[in-house]
A and B are shown apart, each in its own frame.
Chain A
């Protein structure tokens, strides 16, 4: 039982490059979400999903795309990376019955130069 697994752990991108941050959970959780964590700003919700095929925007969605084709996977795509997207990204999952984020991955530290 691995919980929430994020890959890669570290990534350096050049401005304008694209990449996908991977997130997978093995707990059959309906809800999954992506956050970014920046110093002095806490965690901010980027996108979330309440089930396969259903996604919605969070607080800071610009520059990011998501899709949810399976219950297990929720990848986050950066189409054209910008220095402002330098951050630590966390994926989270929970059961539908839970009122808050229950399980977080270990994070992906992304630097855009």
Chain B
């Protein structure tokens, strides 16, 4: 079966750095996406990795290792508004997105 694993919840301090991990087992791979979802709102696109390595976008970076079936989202200089759920999603060989259940990130002052 297809599976995406990410921690259910993480807590971090304002101004700090946090790394949210995602491991996956899917039938084929056509890229990995990270989305941010605030409570009661729709997901918004953060990043996309299709090749191994690090993609940097301002305070957010995403890393991929296809051989290990592993990705992480790194958030720097945390702000209170970063409190949200972060969803990892993998596109399989049928171009279907397989979603993780999300990691709820709580930022404390």
A and B: bona fide binding partners: no
Interface residues of A (CB under 8 A from B): none
